[in-house]
Each structure stands twice: as C-alpha cells, then as structure tokens.
C-alpha cells in the first residue's frame, strides 16, 4: 500500500484530507512534535523508516501578524522546512505536494493573479512562503506547489468559525470591506489533492486553487450571516480602522484557469461551497 505523509497533521487542511482519505492509501499524519520539518536529520530518519510516495506539506507558520514580530520562526518553518522536505523528497524519489498562499502577491492588480505573475509579498509571512516555493522549484523536478486563499472549514480556527461565534456573542460586528479575495473551502482543496494522486499526474509545477468568484471580508461575513440566519448587524469598515502589524494585499484573487484545464477539475463558486460548509459548522 502506498504511503502518503501529511505534515501539519492537526491543521484544518490535513483534517479535511483525513475526512475523505482513500482506504486504498496509507496516510501518515504528523504534527511538529512527531516530525519537525525544520530538522533535516529528523526528516532523514523518518523517510528511511517509511517509504513515502507522496508528501503533502500542510505544515506552515500562518500567523500573519505574529510573523512580523517573529520572522525567524516564520522563515524557519515556511522556508527552511520546505527546503528540507524538498531535499529529502529528492533523495527518496518522493513527490512533494506543497501548499502556498495568495500572500506572495502585493495586491496591486485588479484582475486575478495567474501562475505567471511576479510575486511581491508585502510582509514576512508571504516572503517566507515565497522563499519556500523557490527552494522547492530549484531542488525538485517532481513537485506540485498549490497556492490557495482565504482557507476555511469546519475544523480548526478560521474566519467562518470566528464569524459564527461572534454572531452568537455580539449585536454588531465590524468587518473590513476593502480587501478582495476568494474564500476557499479546505475540503475542496483536499479533494483536488486527492485528484492529483489518483490521476498519478506528472504535470508537475505551480498551480492556483481557490473557489471561484471574489468578495471582500465584509461580503464573506454577510454571506455567513445570511446562511446562519443571524440577526447580528454586520458593518463594513476600511482596513485603516483595524490597524495590523502586517500589510495585507488589497486584491489577491487567484486565476484557476490553468488548474481546471490541466487536471480536468471543476471548481465550485465560493458562495455555493460556503452554504454546504456552514451547515457542517453548526
């Protein structure tokens, strides 16, 4: 049976992968206590003990604002960790599926970003993820880098679960209305990753995956409110009203045309997917 390693095994994407995992494959889920990707010798030992066909790297430092205060920690996991995995995967002929982010872009475009657009991250998080991408591309030939955006699910901590909680606790919630992106259900990304493996695809490279369409965080919140039938008032505010340590791209919609064509996969709209996901969060 084929072994598939999933790092960051306690995160929302890994848990969505677990929800739909094929019983014909042996998925091995590790968190940082079981396998520290920043330690090359630990990875070497693990790969020697377990023949790994695919490694799905869900491990990441994703605290965008904290990364500004702790750049070493962010780069250690997002850059060094990705580099270490690439080195070990090359040595053991393992295919790496690596998850990256829309935050590699600066948001100055007004049309969806394609895989050919030049990254220009605004903060430490995006910069550290971009460096991880570059190491993988320079070390490996057998890899899939998947950039995604505004990820949420019924698992872990995310915007949808936060909003559902706030709608129960507050009469009024303020949400920024000048950052535009594509909310993405982690379960759909998990299905896409399964598809890559099931197809035994050799179309290696960099791809964008997000649910179709675009909205603001305010628009996203209003949609969640409507689906949850909450009476909480949702008020649109500018980003300037919520100063944060890290700058966010004002527009980070990803173009998924190439992904859909190469893999013959249909991607649902963010609105349609959200309605299914919210029902699972209750």
Active site residues: 125
Query: What is d(CA 155, CA 1) in angstroms, rounded to the nearest whole number?
Result: 28
β-pairing, 143-148 with 180-181? unpaired
For the CA atoms of 66, 70, 75, 80, the dihedral, rounded to the nearest 10 degrees, stands at -120
> Three-state SS across 48-76?
HHCCCCEEEECCCCCCHHHHHHCHHHHHH
Please report the sign of the dihedral spanned by the C-alpha atoms of residue 137, residue 142, residue 148, residue 152.
Answer: negative
Per the CB < 8 A criterion, the answer to whether 188 and 274 are in contact is no
Show Cβ contacts of residue 62 under 8 Å, excluding neighbours closer than 6 positions.
Answer: 125
């Amino acid at each position: 049976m084929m072994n598939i390693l999933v790092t960051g095994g306690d995160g929302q994407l890994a848990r969505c992968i677990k929800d739909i995992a094929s019983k014909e494959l042996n998925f091995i889920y590790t968190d940082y206590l079981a396998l520290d990707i920043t330690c090359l010798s630990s990875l070497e030992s693990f790969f020697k003990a377990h023949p790994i066909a695919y490694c799905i790297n869900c491990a990441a430092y994703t605290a965008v604002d904290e990364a500004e205060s702790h750049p070493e920690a962010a780069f250690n996991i997002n850059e060094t960790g990705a580099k270490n995995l690439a080195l070990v995967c090359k040595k053991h002929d393992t295919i790496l599926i690596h998850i990256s982010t829309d935050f590699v872009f600066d948001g100055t475009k007004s049309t969806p970003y394609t895989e050919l657009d030049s990254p220009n991250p605004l903060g430490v998080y995006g910069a550290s993820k971009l460096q991880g991408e570059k190491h993988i591309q320079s070390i490996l030939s057998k890899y899939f880098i998947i950039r995604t955006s505004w990820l949420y699910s019924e698992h872990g901590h995310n915007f949808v679960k936060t909003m559902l909680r706030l709608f129960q606790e507050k009469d009024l919630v303020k949400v920024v209305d000048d950052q535009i992106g594509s909310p993405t259900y982690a379960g759909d990304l998990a299905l896409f990753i399964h598809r890559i493996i099931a197809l035994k695809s050799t179309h290696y490279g960099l791809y964008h995956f997000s649910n179709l369409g675009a909205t603001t965080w305010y628009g996203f919140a209003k949609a969640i409110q409507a689906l949850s039938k909450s009476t909480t008032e949702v008020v649109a505010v500018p980003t300037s009203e919520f100063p944060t340590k890290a700058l966010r791209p004002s527009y980070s919609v990803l173009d998924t045309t190439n992904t859909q064509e190469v893999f013959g996969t249909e991607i649902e709209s963010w609105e349609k997917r959200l309605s299914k996901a919210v029902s699972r969060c209750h």
